[in-house]
Amino acid sequence: NIRKTPFMTINKTKFDGLLLINLDVFTDERGSFREAWHAKKLAELGLPSFIPVQHNVAYSKKGVVRGIHAEPWDKFAHPTYGLIFACIVDMRPSSNTFGRHITFELDEAHALFVPKGFGNAYQTLSEFAVYSYLVTDHWSADVTYPSIIYNDRDLDIKWPISPAIVSAKDKKNSTFRQAYPSYKSR
């Protein structure tokens, strides 16, 4: 199912609620322009109610992996510069796709709507990338949520660049089975 309006297109994915947004990029001798976020157009295309309260931006070098984090808020994520390998893990125990992942190569012409309940991770493929995301709740050090180790054996994600550069904190994330003891790999 594809819905299109001038400047953007929404595509459903194999995960219920996860949406891939194609953004029309216009280039000329000066550079480029795109509408990365347009609430009215996205709502007309079927984006669920989404009221962002915080805008985060991460700059990452080539090979960096961030995640897998399942924050308790919806996220509209978009690399404003560079190329990333995005990996989304379904961490909703009641879902038919629980414990599965889907990957995308995202650049300036693509965004993802990631509802709460999904784990979000990415690896930078270009020399650097700027990853921008709008979220529906404020970050706080007191908020807890599942974070899964990027190289979890059960998930078996094929990260394109090895060895990956991973923060000390993310290296301590739990395995999927530790976070979800009732999980049975498929």
pLDDT at 186: 60
User: What does pTM read for this prediction?
Assistant: 0.92
Average pLDDT by stretches of 10, the chain with 186 residues = 75 96 92 89 90 96 97 96 98 95 97 97 98 95 93 97 97 96 77
pLDDT at 184: 77
Closest alpha carbon to 66 in 133, 143, 12: 133
pLDDT at 3: 67
What is the rounded CA–CA span in Å between residue 86 and residue 174?
A: 20
pLDDT at 18: 97
pLDDT at 66: 97
Residue located via tokens 């995301």:
133
> Amino acid identity, residue 38?
H
H-type alpha helices, the chain: 39-44, 168-171, 176-179
Q: Which residues are catalytic?
A: 69, 133
